[in-house]
A and B are shown apart, each in its own frame.
Chain A
Amino acid sequence: MSGYVVRRLGQSLVLLLMVSMIGFAILHLAPGGPLSQFAAGGDMTQEDLDRIAVQLGLDRPLPLQYVEWLWRMLQGDWGRSYRDQQPVLHIIGSHIGATLELMLTSTLVAMMIGAWVGILGAIRRYSIFDSLATIGAMVALSIPTFWFGLVVIYVFSVGLEWLPAGNRYTIGDESLLDRLHHLIGPCMVLALVSTAVWSRYMRSSMLDVINQDYIRTARSKGLPERRILLNHAVRNALLPMITITGLHLPALLSGALVTETVFTWPGMGRLFLDSISYRDYPVVMGILVFTSVMVLAGSLIADLLYSIADPRMGAPG
């Protein structure tokens, strides 16, 4: 068990190092590299640029620059935004709340609906409900999130006028009810793909469990079917979903970016897009590294939780 944890932590550290290298490489991939912001102004001579390069240490060998960059990142110095000179971590911190709110609520919605659809699909395998759920999940995975967002706005905001078309709250009214009202649309949009993912994996996990020996034992003991399914099967079938939630994190973050854009939700995804249009590279790179670290941490936490929840998992790794 502890061996597994140590090994898993070691893996994550190696991955973190590689992720940081890729981030650094992308930063230097930009035409002109980190200097391009100055060159873009147009009124700089080559001499000026050279001087800035020396000041910023850009004339030194790349490995050295990487180590220094990594060291600064580890100390929490992620650079400053070109737009307002604020520290990058500070800016990310002020936007992450809205994104987390959206991601958490839509994950909860997806869990509740998706799990039930998957469980029912597995119990009534090959029924009409199961077929429709499978087809529905496939279609849901194929709908572009931004288009579904537009459709939701068109139907519920433009047509029925039930939901606001965007933003996190009405200015001047920041009550919980108002916030929830604004949350419904984006949450529905972001939850679509997650629900499909949850229902499919839950179905497969449930089928896995139903065919296990201990379910047959429970049946042969004469336990009521309902109790077997809820107490024995569902509880065990839910365990692998911890891992799925971790693995789904990158897709969820991507979906959040698109959803935030459509619903003008003031989260990290929209900040990212705004920063790209302003060529605000420190913020762009900061968010890119930040999200990948989130994904890394998410899968690490999921795996550790899983090894606690299901001790059989520890040994082979």
Chain B
Amino acid sequence: MSTTASTPPAGAAAQVIRPRGPGAFRRFSRHRLAALSLVLILSLTLACIIVPPLLPFSDTEIDIMQRFASPFTGPHLLGTDPLGRDTLARLLMAGRISLSVGFSAMAISMVIGIAVGLYAGFYGGRIGAILMRFVDAMLCFPSIFLLLAISAFLQPSVGSIIMLIAATSWMEVARLVEAQIRALRARDFAVAARAIGASDRRVMFRELLPNAVAPIVVAATLNVAHAILAESYISFLGYGIQPPTPSWGNMLENAQSYLTSAPWLAIIPGAAITLAVTGFNFIGDGLRDALDPRQEAR
């Protein structure tokens, strides 16, 4: 496969020629966006943790008299759903689930991806080649098809959904780490470390991995965004987090039937997903610029 991900090093020259002017505005705005996103994600996370107990309504409290209350009109700030449950309370409780699924799935997929990439990049050989072909083969399956096919066999729970998303999203990380390690391994410092008799494990974890940390951190951030999206997709389609446990995806599950009468049921959770995913993507992009200045983000 030809390398399409490589970015033009030529861009750096053009950047130096125009240190001020519109370019500065753009870079500034980029990092401003990343910083803004960080604030957004932190406040969103904090709100999901702190606010629900403070609300006058719980996310499970059914109030038939208050069905389909519109947002910003009554005691329910963001309105209510077909069972009269408070949308804001549900949104925040769903945020707890969706964000923890995002972070946990990311953590597990990073562990798998780094382990596979590290092994294949360091030892190479037949097993390394087989591992990387396996990565290629896994990437041939469109992710939603794979997620849904496996989820059909699972007893859906928060834990199994996390494992499922992690199991289908480690491949890009493995590819990235493998390429990094393979390149770093030939560098002088790694050769020197081996020459003074450092063990394989020491070279891998103390010498090579720390030098590949920048792209890994970027990939991890983008991976959270990916995991939140994946959860929302399969929950929306009915095979993810099961009600009554709310998640941003399953709050939208029945929203389509009420699109005419209660559009906020569809708008609000979707906006939350978009906000969170955009946030993580911008942070990842900002990190890429900050951690690796040579690589101008596309």
Which residues of A pack against B, CB within 8 Å? 14-15, 18-19, 21-22, 26, 29-31, 125-128, 130-131, 134-135, 138-139, 141-147, 150-151, 153-154, 158, 200-201, 203-204, 207-208, 211, 240, 243-244, 247, 249-251, 253-254, 257-258, 261-262, 272-273, 276-277, 279, 284-285, 287-288, 291-293, 295-296, 299, 303, 306, 313
Contacts and interface: CB of A to CB of B under 8 A. Distances in A.
A141 B298 CA distance: 14
B3 to A, nearest CB: 9
Given A138-B282, A144-B229, A19 B259 contact: no
Contacts, number: 179
Interface stretch (B66-74, B193-201, B260-268): B260-268
A138 B281 contact: yes
B1 A303 contact: yes
Contact of A291 (B18, B21, B142): B142
A15 B142 CA distance: 15
B137 A131 contact: no
Nearest to A29: B153
Interface stretch (B25-33, B43-51, B88-96, B116-124): B25-33
Interface stretch (B103-111, B206-214, B233-241): B233-241
B149 A284 contact: yes
B9 to A, nearest CB: 9
A165 B144 CA distance: 23
Interface of B: 1-2, 4, 7-8, 10-11, 13-14, 18, 21-23, 25-26, 29-30, 33, 133-134, 136-146, 148-150, 152-153, 225, 229, 232-233, 236-239, 249, 252, 255-256, 259-260, 263, 266-267, 270, 273-274, 277-278, 281-282, 285, 298
A284 B152 contact: yes
Contacts of B238: 277
Contacts of B139: 250
Given A141-B281, A250-B140, A258-B144, A154 B263 contact: yes
Contact of B237 (A30, A125, A138, A273): A273
Given A144-B270, A150-B259, A211 B7 contact: no
Contacts of B26: 126, 130-131, 134
Given A130-B26, A254-B144, A276-B152, A19 B274 contact: no
Contact of A261 (B140, B237, B270): B237
Contacts of B270: 144, 147, 150-151
15 contacts: A22-B137, A126-B25, A134-B30, A135-B33, A139-B278, A142-B229, A144-B233, A144-B249, A146-B236, A147-B266, A254-B143, A257-B142, A272-B148, A285-B149, A291-B142
Contacts of A261: 237
B274 A144 contact: yes
Nearest to A317: B2
A240 B1 CA distance: 12
B141 A147 contact: no
Contact of B236 (A144, A207, A247): A144
Most buried by A among B2, B146, B281: B2
Given A131-B29, A146-B236, A258-B233, A18 B145 contact: no
A291 B142 CA distance: 7
Nearest to B280: A142
What 5 A-B pairs have minimum CB-CB distances, sorted nearest first?
A147-B270, A211-B10, A18-B137, A254-B144, A142-B277
Given A139-B278, A147-B252, A19 B153 contact: no
Nearest to B33: A135
Contacts of B21: 126
Given A144-B274, A200-B298, A253 B133 contact: no
B133 A14 contact: yes
A18 B134 CA distance: 7
A203 B2 contact: no
B4 A26 contact: no
Given A144-B270, A154-B259, 8 more contacts: A19-B140, A125-B14, A126-B21, A135-B29, A146-B236, A150-B256, A211-B13, A273-B237
